[in-house]
Structure 1
Amino acid sequence: MKFELRKVTRRFGDRIAVNAVSVEIPQGQMVGVIGRSGAGKSTLLRMINRLQDPSSGSIHFGGIEVSSLKGAALRNWQRDCAMIFQQFNLVPRLDVLTNVLLGRLNHRSTVTSLLNIFSREERLMAIAALERLGIEQTALQRAGTLSGGQQQRVAIARALMQDPKMVLADEPIASLDPLNAKIVMDALRDINEREGITVITNLHTLDTARNYCERIIGMAAGHVVFDGPPQELTAAAVREIYGSDRDGAGIDETMTSTSIDISGAASPAGKPLSAGIEALATARA
């Protein structure tokens, strides 16, 4: 099912945050959106999820005009279009398992939601999601006691519980160290490849976008100024997205790098880590 933005614009008073953006994304792509702070990346994702409404233009998915949905139809779209936030948006006082189970609320009746009644099948689904992300041992801990990397993996597990058709991730690794950033990005790529779910993620590091995304969209001042595969993201394209420094030189990508040199390693979402790296991941998570 194709996802499409048609001349989508968002204004805040006199300021235009997103300016006439038109993009088509086929089902199953992993797309990275890059750009400077204030370029419109977060506003774009929030409009896709309908946390904010477009000022003009329209949003479409599988023949449905998402931008016109209301009531139950809108809630169903927000269920199908899972959102992962930089701040994790967990309930700190609740245990991890319950936080993950909250991803099922839009699949349930109002009465059972109010009574917080989850079935045995749903609890098994939640534990399986935590196991997939390598944090099943935290299931009964309060979410507020976890590290940032663990909390972001809980947020991804909660998103999986929505059984989404699309996953939006707004700067999911911005506050994480390099090892946890790798674990989170590996998990998102695993979801994209294993389930064929479209993943659109805002990223502030060029190396991450190049390494994980098959398509990169570059934004500047609310406009899309680049849209293509990583190999076409040339120095000239990067300069158009990020501008130049005071001396007119281009951006040094190493300044934004979050890469970590772990030869042949993978996260719990992919192939197993070696014993030494696994121990390090446990210690740093």
Structure 2
Amino acid sequence: MRFKLENLTRQFGSTKAVDSVSVEIPAGQMVGVIGRSGAGKSTLLRMINRLVDPTSGSIQFGETEISSLHGAALRNWQRDCAMIFQQFNLVPRLDVLTNVMLGRLNHRPTALSLLNMFSREERLMAIAALERLGIEQTALQAAGTLSGGQQQRVAIARALMQAPKMVLADEPIASLDPLNAKIVMDALKDINEQEGITVITNLHTLDTARNYCERIIGMAQGRVVFDGTPDQLTADAVQEIYGSDRHGAGIDETMTSTTINIPQAVVANSASRPAPYRPLAAAEA
């Protein structure tokens, strides 16, 4: 299913947060969007999900003009285009299982969700999603008691419950330590590879973008200044995206690195390690 942005612009007063962005993304790609703070990355993702309306331009998914959707059609798009946030956006007082099942909100009457009246099938789907992320043991804990890495995995499980056609992740590892960052990125890559779901993620670390994304889009001052493969992200391209410091020097990539050396035994025995891929439908058998 073709996904296309054409001359997409968002203006706040006299400032163009996103300026005439045109890109086309085929189904099943894993795309990393990089750039300085304020480059327009988050605004771009929020426009795709229609949390922010474009000032001008077009968002197309297949034959559907996303930028003109309203009412139920817009809610259906926000169901199909799942959003994962840096700050997780869970309900801290609710248990993990309920937070995950809230991903079914746009698949059922709202009243049933508010009354916590989820079906047996939905509960099994939620448990399967948690097992896939390796945190099924937290199902009955209040979400607010979990670590940041665990909460982000709950947020990913909730997104899976939406049965999305696309996943948008806005700085999903920005507040996580390196080990949890790896676990979360491994989970997003697994979703992309195993289910063929398009994943677009904003990232602030170049090594992460290179290691996980088959395509990298670089933004500067609201515009796309780079669009290519990890191998094409040369030092010159990085400088065009990030510019120079006040002394005229280019960015030191080691300052953005999340690379860590973890003994394999520690990773293998970690309770935080995601479980191997298991289709959600398996829980219904």
Question: Could you tell me how far 1:280 is from its partner in structure 2?
Answer: 4.4
Q: TM-score, normalised on structure 1? A: 0.93
85-94 or 101-110, larger mean C-alpha shift: 101-110
1:91 equivalent in structure 2: 91
Runs of 4+ that moved beyond 6 A: none
2:5 equivalent in structure 1: 5
Question: CA offsets per residue over residues 101-138 of structure 1, 9 Å max, x none?
Answer: 00001000233233221000100000000000000000
1:47-196 mapped onto 2 (5 Å cutoff): 47-196=47-196
Matching residue's letter, 2:144: G
Matching residue's letter, 1:18: V
Question: Matched residue pairs, number?
Answer: 273
1:179–1:281: 8 Å Cα contact kept in structure 2?
no
* SS of alignment partner, residue 32 of structure 1: strand
Instruction: State how far apart, in whole Å, the 2-side matches of 1:282 and 1:233 are.
Output: 32
2:148–2:175: 8 Å Cα contact kept in structure 1?
yes
1:35 equivalent in structure 2: 35
Instruction: State how far apart, in whole Å, the 1-side matches of 2:60 and 2:152 are.
Output: 28
Instruction: State how far apart, in whole Å, the 2-side matches of 1:40 and 1:97 are.
Output: 34
Matching residue's letter, 1:89: N
Instruction: State how far apart, in whole Å, the 1-side matches of 2:37 and 2:243 are.
Output: 12
2:277 equivalent in structure 1: none
Question: CA offsets per residue over residues 129-176 of structure 1, 9 Å max, x none?
Answer: 000000000000000000000000000000000000000000000000
1:255 equivalent in structure 2: 255
Question: Could you tell me how far 1:281 is from its partner in structure 2?
Answer: 5.3
Instruction: State how far apart, in whole Å, the 2-side matches of 1:282 and 1:243 are.
Output: 37
Instruction: State how far apart, in whole Å, the 2-side matches of 1:129 and 1:280 are.
Output: 19
Q: TM-score, normalised on structure 2? A: 0.93
* RMSD (Å), alpha carbons: 1.3
Instruction: State how far apart, in whole Å, the 1-side matches of 2:205 and 2:271 are.
Output: 21
1:268 equivalent in structure 2: none
Instruction: State how far apart, in whole Å, the 2-side matches of 1:137 and 1:113 are.
Output: 23
In the alignment, structure 1 segments of 5+ residues that lack a partner are 266-273
1:39–1:219: 8 Å Cα contact kept in structure 2?
yes
2:45 equivalent in structure 1: 45
Question: Could you tell me how far 1:245 is from its partner in structure 2?
Answer: 1.5
Match for residue 267 of structure 2 among 235, 255, 277:
277
Question: Could you tell me how far 1:282 is from its partner in structure 2?
Answer: 4.1
1:23 equivalent in structure 2: 23
Distance change >3 Å, CA 21–CA 118, structure 1 → 2: same
* SS of alignment partner, residue 159 of structure 2: helix
2:228 equivalent in structure 1: 228
Matching residue's letter, 2:143: A
Matching residue's letter, 2:185: M
* SS of alignment partner, residue 244 of structure 1: coil
Matching residue's letter, 1:106: N
Matching residue's letter, 1:212: Y
Instruction: State how far apart, in whole Å, the 1-side matches of 2:70 and 2:113 are.
Output: 21
Q: Percent of counterpart pairs with the same letter?
A: 82
Question: Could you tell me how far 1:278 is from its partner in structure 2?
Answer: 3.8
Question: CA offsets per residue over residues 30-74 of structure 1, 9 Å max, x none?
Answer: 000000000000000000000000000010001100000000000
Instruction: State how far apart, in whole Å, the 2-side matches of 1:13 and 1:160 are.
Output: 36
